[in-house]
A and B are shown apart, each in its own frame.
Chain A
Amino acid sequence: MRAFQILIDGFAISALYALGATGFTLIFGVSGVLNLSHGAIMVAAAVAAWAAASILNVGTYAGALIGVGVALLTSFATYFAVVKPIQDSRRIPNEEKEIFVLTGTLLWGIMIQEVIAYLFTNNAKTVLPIVEGVVEILGVRTPKNEIFTAIVCCFVIALLWLLVNRTRTGKAVLAASMNPRGVTLLGLELTNIYVVVWAIYGILAGIAGVLLGMFLGVSSYSVGPLTASAFSIVVLGGLGSVSGSLIAAFVVGYLETLTAYLVSPAYRTIPALLLLVFVMYIRPQGLLGRR
């Protein structure tokens, strides 16, 4: 009974983590950018969906779409206003661009967080779920919304896999992550590929954010923990490796759920952190890291 509950809850949480971390690792793999405004973009999507559905009364579907749209816009803003200027800057030495991107996106994330807090207060917000009600699976009462979340996450990840491996654009993205110079020599514009990747990232983060808002609820305080969890999942799986992040998301998701159910919700994040430290000592490049 309890085992099934952990199995089901853990799956939904893990699928959500996986979706959130996939976009994050994709950007790192292709353009070497660690986007520390990740949590802020997810929260922006969730709050936009909440505001559209609860204040403007546009309905849950339109609200969710608006949330994803806001995440897409924020993602482009992050790229064009923060990341691209730093990457193109001549005054910043190349070997220091990484830390500048980290600092820049971190500050950008704080700005987004503060705007959200200013416009919509710090209170926790739960987005109206698209499907309501409860079903019983294997004797466990499960909200339909939880199942919906897991299905959408898996579907979107499958779609991403098809996009990357089966389309021309996707192959260009894959090639850019392997060898950026080679791609430019083949006559593809690297900036265009980056724009595509940031668009994919924005949509993924948006969907993850809206689903999170329906499933657990968000507030502007969730920004930091969300970024940290995506960061640790991605490092655990190996920076830039999408399949590594998927495995890591499930490891972290289940580890947290197990601890929360069997020990105490207060210790929820501790085993995952310990595992992370352990993996980094014995295998610094992460589970499936290429480096």
Chain B
Amino acid sequence: MASFFTTRLFFISLALVIVAATLPLYVSGYVLGLLTVAFYFGVFAMAWDLLFGFAGEVNFGPTFLIGVGAYTAGILNAQFGWSVYLCIVLGALASVIAGLVLALPALRVRGPYFGLTTLVAVLMLQNFIVVFADLTGGEIGLTIPDVITINAGANYWIALGFMSISAAILYGLSQSPVGLVLQASGQDPVQAGALGFNIVKHKLAAFIVSAFFSGLSGALLVFYFGTASVGTVVDVAVGVNVIVSAVLGGRRTVLGAALGAIFLIVAGEFLRPTGELATFIVSAVALLVVLFFPGGFLGAALSREARS
């Protein structure tokens, strides 16, 4: 762990964060708003990568965890008027509980079967939101009265700080002995169990950590947007974006997932002039990366460094 602070990756990341922190001094509010959303998405993608890349769980429903956190925080604030910070904490906690609910089938079924369970979880949450429209705002979405701040720069710094801290914690965890045990139990649970590691405990921990960061990020995003809606935090399409980000940036790298998310959101914005074709182009680029650079951006860069 200590040796990490002397690696090139650490200095590059530190330099990137410092450069990013100075951005509000000279770029427009529009760019800041875009990056703010991208940073929260980066946390979604990193949390997903911890489950998939390390614990080997194919979670098709990252938006189940995100949505529970986001909607819990939003409902508590909009319907009961609780303070923003309390709502964010409770949103993250609700998401942890959702993570435990999701972990139960994961301990019984594997691969595509678990993938489907997570997908079903998202569809159920979506149905629940639509059916209990009085509480959740239904298909129109929930308007949230409070926001953390309306200053674009401050919002940007909060998002950047949150993403950097999450990245440090998640990356540190992935490189720690716990991360190695997780990776082992993801690749060969029987053998990892035979070596004396408690797989159930480690997998549960991975779910809890992943859910905590997803929910926290979802709750923060809700208070940034000022609304919670199915289209922004629950829809399967949002989950697909999170998965594509992580695979694009490089699975099993944690940091790559954040890069992928930022790329995906910024690229989508750059392609806006192409109108309806934007999604097509982003998907096509992502497919080409999956086919020709299966390691993703960071995976390709790291393997080149390792070779030289």
List chain A positions with a Cβ less than 8 A from chain B. 34, 82, 85-86, 89, 91-92, 95-96, 98-100, 102-104, 106-108, 110-111, 114-115, 117-118, 224, 228, 231-232, 235, 239, 266-267, 269-270, 273-274, 276-277, 280-281, 284-285
B280 and A114 form a contact (CB under 8 A): yes
A110 and B279 form a contact (CB under 8 A): yes
B244 and A103 form a contact (CB under 8 A): yes
Query: What is the minimal beta-carbon distance from A149 to any residue of chain B, in angstroms?
Result: 26
Q: Which residues of B contact A276 (CB under 8 A)?
A: 116, 120
A284 and B280 form a contact (CB under 8 A): no
A224 and B294 form a contact (CB under 8 A): no
A114 and B277 form a contact (CB under 8 A): yes
Partner pick for B276 among A104, A117, A277, CB 8 A cutoff: A117
Partner pick for B105 among A99, A232, A267, A281, CB 8 A cutoff: A281
Q: Which residues of B contact A95 (CB under 8 A)?
A: 187
Known contacts A82-B291, A103-B243, A224-B237; A118/B277 CB under 8 A: yes
B58 and A99 form a contact (CB under 8 A): yes
Interface mask (B117-137 → A, CB under 8 Å = 1, otherwise 0): 101100110010011000000
Instruction: Determine chain B's interface SS by DSSP, over half rule.
Output: helix
Known contacts A103-B247, A284-B108; A273/B124 CB under 8 A: yes
Q: Which residues of A contact B284 (CB under 8 A)?
A: 107, 111
A228 and B109 form a contact (CB under 8 A): no
Q: How far is the CA of A114 from the CA of B287 in the complex (A)?
A: 14
Q: Which of B115, B283, B290 has the most CB of A within 10 A?
A: B290
B236 and A224 form a contact (CB under 8 A): yes
B120 and A239 form a contact (CB under 8 A): no
- Chain B minimum-CB-distance residue to A86: B291
Q: Which residues of B contact A270 (CB under 8 A)?
A: 124, 127
A92 and B111 form a contact (CB under 8 A): no
Known contacts A102-B58, A111-B283, A224-B236; A269/B243 CB under 8 A: no
Interface mask (B41-76 → A, CB under 8 Å = 1, otherwise 0): 000000000001000001000000000000000000
Q: Which residues of B contact A118 (CB under 8 A)?
A: 276-277, 280
Known contacts A89-B294, A107-B286; A232/B116 CB under 8 A: yes
Query: What is the minimal beta-carbon distance from A2 to any residue of chain B, in angstroms?
Result: 24
B240 interface residue per 8 A CB criterion: yes
Known contacts A103-B243, A280-B116; A273/B123 CB under 8 A: yes
Q: List 28 A-B contacts (CB under 8 A).
A: A92-B294, A98-B58, A99-B58, A102-B112, A103-B244, A103-B290, A107-B244, A108-B283, A110-B279, A110-B280, A111-B284, A111-B287, A114-B276, A114-B279, A117-B276, A118-B280, A231-B116, A232-B120, A269-B127, A270-B127, A273-B123, A273-B124, A277-B117, A277-B120, A280-B116, A280-B117, A284-B108, A284-B109
Q: Which residues of A contact B111 (CB under 8 A)?
A: 98
In the complex, besides A106-B243, A107-B287, A284-B113, 18 extra interface pairs with C-beta distance below 8 angstroms are A34-B112, A89-B294, A98-B112, A102-B112, A103-B243, A103-B247, A107-B283, A108-B283, A110-B280, A111-B280, A115-B280, A118-B277, A235-B112, A235-B116, A267-B127, A267-B131, A273-B127, A277-B124
